[in-house]
Structure 1
Amino acid sequence: MDIDNWQPLTVEEVSLLLKDISIPWGIAGGWALDLHIGRQTRQHKDIDIIVFRHDQQEVYSYLSQDWILYKAYKGTLEIWEGEPLEQVNDIWMKKGETSAWAFQFMFVDQVEEYWIYRRHPSIRRKASDIFLTTQEPICYLRPEIQLLYKGGSSVIREKDDLDWQTILPYLTIEEKEWLVSGLKGQFPEGHRWTE
């Protein structure tokens, strides 16, 4: 299975596809940052969608008739049959066995009314406050949360540094402070984005 064979849906196609789903969702990754500033800043090889883990059955029910859903776990991809997923965080979608990958769902955790940052669970936010909306309206992950995911990764890629440099001027003081606090919480020894 070719994991690099992507022909991602557009943001507009994802929005149309998910218009009738009854759960909160938002565009994530580099596209979320582009939606925040209102323009595309670089090429994107894929498109990510964030949903809460407890809504995974709704995702499966809504998409499994028309899409093949694969669970990505520890470097493998296996067809998801709808069983509850406690450890799997990513679901990749394609139309057919030989089709290119079209989009990816990423499950995030919620405890009571809070979204929990899996890499450092003391970092949290009201679940109702993790998405913003464009005028169209298209929901997307808040930029400071998306940058926390990028900056908090064990490997910060060149595109993550580029996203950081591009988006930083668009963040409010509060968003910057929240992000810096999160990075310092995860990396008390220091992080190059907080220097």
Structure 2
Amino acid sequence: MRIDIDNWNPITVSEVNEVFSKIPINWCIAGGWALDIHMGEETREHKDIDVIIFREDQQVLYKYLYGAWDLYKAENGKLEAWIQGEYLCSKHDIWVSKDANSSWAFQIMLVDTENDEWIYQREKSIRASIEEIIHESQDGIPYIKPEIQLLYKAGSSIIRNKDFQDFQTILPFLDAREKKWLRDAINKQFPCGHYWLNWL
């Protein structure tokens, strides 16, 4: 088990693409970097980098990363080695480093699907077809659509300053359809209201 949760030295978006483009699965950049890819510029400093894959692809992912990278299951502040052949039924986060003494290089988030639909884990009635949640940059790098990423940020139990900053930065660049989707999704997760709705 590792406890160095702040020991990050993330690889770049291009390096992530180099790693994952060789793996025959669906994947995309997530987090703040996904929003910056959408914007076409780096709008703030990023201390980590996130990649989404679908849960059913985890064993293919493991096969391609094992040996070149160390893989750890992350849950409730604990980081334990993800061992070969172990299927993760409920865990969502995998942290990756070159070896046990290296900084964290990137994080993988496992998301659930059903009948070719992405399922939002915090409110399972929120769904979209797999094709509808991913954009591709001019360089061919897949990233999660901004309204989906903003839902993840809005729906967290703790909304960090950088989450609200990201929301404010990208909001003027969302079109009417994207704003409506985000507004409807937030209302569904938070029927009693959410302060981000004041801007939507």
Deviations 1:128-176 (A, max 9, x none): 2111000101000000000000000111110000000001011111011
Q: Output the CA distance in 1 between the equivalents of 2:20 and 2:119.
A: 24
Give the equivalent residue in structure 2 for 1:85.
88
Q: Output the CA distance in 1 between the equivalents of 2:175 and 2:127.
A: 19
**1:57 aligned to 48, 56, 59, which one?**
59
Q: Output the CA distance in 1 between the equivalents of 2:21 and 2:131.
A: 19
Residue identity in the other structure for 1:193: W
TM-score (norm 1): 0.98
Q: Output the CA distance in 1 between the equivalents of 2:75 and 2:91.
A: 6
Give the equivalent residue in structure 2 for 1:148.
151
Give the equivalent residue in structure 1 for 2:141.
138
User: Which residues in structure 2 correspond to 1:1-195 (within 5 Å)?
Assistant: 1-82=3-84, 83-195=86-198
Q: Output the CA distance in 2 between the equivalents of 1:109 and 1:87.
A: 9
- Shift of residue 74 of structure 1? 2.2
Query: What is the SS of the residue equivalent to 1:193?
Result: helix
In the alignment of these two chains, the number of paired residues is: 195
- Shift of residue 10 of structure 1? 0.3
Structure 2 unpaired stretches of 5+:
none
Residue identity in the other structure for 1:67: W
- Shift of residue 19 of structure 1? 1.6
Query: What is the SS of the residue equivalent to 2:62?
Result: helix
Q: Output the CA distance in 2 between the equivalents of 1:16 and 1:166.
A: 28
Q: Output the CA distance in 2 between the equivalents of 1:143 and 1:178.
A: 11
TM-score (norm 2): 0.96
Q: Output the CA distance in 1 between the equivalents of 2:116 and 2:19.
A: 27
- Following TM superposition, the consecutive aligned residue runs of length 4 or more in structure 1 with deviations greater than 6 angstroms are none
Q: Output the CA distance in 2 between the equivalents of 1:63 and 1:124.
A: 29
